Amino acid sequence: MRKNLIEHFRKYVEIDPEEETEILDFFRSKSLSRKEIVIEYNTRCKSHLFVLQGCLRMFFVNDKGIEQTIQFAIENWWLTDYSAFDHQYRTEFVVQAVEPSEILLIDFEDQEKLLHKFPQLERYFRLIYQRAYSASQLRIKYLYDFSKEQFYQHFNDNFPEFTQRIPQHILASYLNMTPEYLSEIKKRLRT
């Protein structure tokens, strides 16, 4: 399953077959159970996570004590608090497994060594960061531009794999609505 990462790299950059093992040695594997936390709030963000199997979410707890999901990661997606990881700060977020998951982790120092040793991966990570930033910008636009119902329809139409896998209360927090309101929207759309 670790080869999934190499295949993902190859979608963006060339990887010599002789380099595969050495590249993978920079990463460590971890199995997560459902609801297990892999990055805790207010701790130094040490790891960048690649999902081999399963689903992760990043969230924070707002001033009303409500969990607000801001990002998901499924197979072949990366996740971390990018600002905290890049600057080695304490994170404002929590990263938790939504379902049992298999991930690869790379620590900040190891990622720096990896990029130094394999410069083509600089390009890979730049492209991945650009895609993540673009997705974040679109999500913010949709939060302002769409009604709650339009936002759900758009998300469901474009990412049905999420709406089928994610528990409703977590999906509602991502869509910035209550689970009850999401139920009402779903009910209206079925009729």
Same domain, 121 and 159: no
Q: What is the pLDDT of residue 124?
A: 97
Same domain, 50 and 138: yes
Helices and strands in the chain, H and E counts: 9, 8
Same domain for 102 and 166, yes or no, is no
Task: Provide the residue-wise pLDDT of the chain in tens; the chain has 191 residues.
Answer: 888 999 999 999 999 999 999 999 999 999 999 999 999 999 999 999 999 999 999 999 999 999 999 999 999 999 999 999 999 999 999 999 999 999 999 999 999 999 999 999 999 999 999 999 998 999 899 989 999 999 999 999 998 888 888 999 999 999 999 999 999 998 888 87
The total of structural domains in the chain comes to: 2
pTM above 0.75, yes or no: yes
* Residue range of the domain that includes 70: 3-144
Q: Are residues 126 and 160 in the same domain?
A: no
Together in a domain, 74 and 164:
no
Of residues 25, 169, 187, the one with CA closest to residue 106: 25
Do 106 and 177 share a domain, yes or no?
A: no
Conformational region of residue 97, where left means phi above 0, alpha means psi within -120 to 50, and beta covers everything else:
beta
DSSP H helical segments within 11-107, as ranges?
A: 20-24, 82-87
Same domain, 39 and 82: yes
- The pLDDT of residue 163 is 85
Using alpha carbons, select from 121, 92, 88 the residue that is nearest to residue 107. Answer: 88
Distance in angstroms (rounded) separating the CA atoms of residues 158 and 160:
6
The CATH number assigned to the domain holding 75 equals 2.60.120.10
41 plus 131 within the same structural domain: yes
